[in-house]
Amino acid sequence: MTEAVVQFDEAGLGKWTDPVEFEVTRERLVQYAAATNDPIPAHRDGDVASPVFGIVPVFHALLAPALEVVPVSLFGKILHGEQDFRFHRPIVPGDRLTARGKMTGWEGLENGTRACVYLESRDGAGELVNEQYVTFFVRGFDDGRRLGELSSSHRLDPALRSEVPAASFTQRIDGDQTFRYAEASGDPMPIHLDEDAAEQAGLPGIIAHGFCVLAFTCWGLMEGLGREETGRLRRLACRFAKPVLPGQEIQTKAWATGLSGSDSAFAFETAVGETLVIRDGLAEFTETT
């Protein structure tokens, strides 16, 4: 008997998921800011969502596109590799958002397959609030094909590291951070909450949520670069390189790369000691809201 070939299901490419609705409350925004130690007053008071909160309304639409394409036998090999937010306007209390997603493409590589899911949030009037390109990686599985579209590149130029950074800052991930973040974000994955589950997954122990680390980095960039008005951030992209453990300190450096017109762009990376945990970061701001 011929063994069946395991491949992604091409029929699921470009197929929209059912819409998921989410009501934004001030209390949820305050909780999220507190769970990420966010000091920016508008975030802390719940007047406006911190940018990375954008993942919360779409979280339950995130896996559905993968279910349409990736064989269930491979789900244990999936890692979140990259994130690329495109912000049209900030999320505010009272928003009633509708999220949906679709798989846009994948690329088989020798050490695994990278695949991109596109997510969008729209308000009650049908206007885009944000778009997200989530790239995940299926370890040790080469689909053997490149189909559709992947997210656009945001590589950091290594030459920037020899320049003086526009911002440099250190933050600490608290010992209870994962428990606070899990409740505020709605992400209860066991590797963030249970030592045994984390160790069984091959990790040294409980690890911080990647989005929690990115939220720290985001508000640090906004503060450090003097761009604390949430509506000025138009794009936030990065690659997740290594896990961060509760109690560790993260250090971020950002360098100006420049954009034409009234916008500005900064490349950034975040490390624990000498180990990069976020790489190829890109933050783009408009100079007016």
DSSP letters of 167-196?
EEEEEE--TTHHHHHHHHHT---GGGT-HH
Q: How many whole angstroms separate alpha carbon 129 and alpha carbon 114?
A: 26
CATH number of the domain residue 227 falls in: 3.10.129.10
174 shares its domain with 274: yes
List the structure tokens of 141. 């599985």
Into how many domains does the chain fold?
2
pLDDT at 54: 97
234 shares its domain with 147: no
282 shares its domain with 165: yes
User: Which of 127, 152, 177 corresponds to the end of one domain?
Assistant: 152
User: Which of 117, 152, 187 corresponds to the end of one domain?
Assistant: 152
139 shares its domain with 190: no
| Residue 209, C-beta contacts closer than 8 angstroms, at least 6 positions apart | 178, 181, 182, 185, 187, 189, 192
Angstrom distances, CA of residue 105 to CA of 8, 63, 114, 214, 238: 10, 15, 9, 24, 19
Domain that holds residue 189: 154-289
pLDDT at 289: 61
pLDDT at 261: 65
3 shares its domain with 143: yes
The pLDDT tens digits for 134-169 are 999 998 999 999 999 999 989 999 999 999 999 999
CA end-to-end distance (rounded Å), the chain: 63
169 shares its domain with 91: no
User: Which of 152, 184, 199 corresponds to the end of one domain?
Assistant: 152
pLDDT at 200: 86
The pLDDT tens digits for 91-100 are 999 999 999 9
Helix (H) or strand (E) holding 130: strand 128-139
177 shares its domain with 142: no
Sign for the pseudo-dihedral over CA of 192, 193, 195, 199: negative
Q: How many whole angstroms separate alpha carbon 45 and alpha carbon 54?
A: 17
21 shares its domain with 137: yes
Kindly give the parts of the chain with pLDDT less than 70. Answer: 1-4, 260-262, 289
137 shares its domain with 214: no
192 shares its domain with 117: no
Pair type for strands 263-272 and 96-109:
unpaired
> Is the separation of the CB atoms in 247 and 173 below 8 Å?
yes
166 shares its domain with 260: yes
73 shares its domain with 89: yes
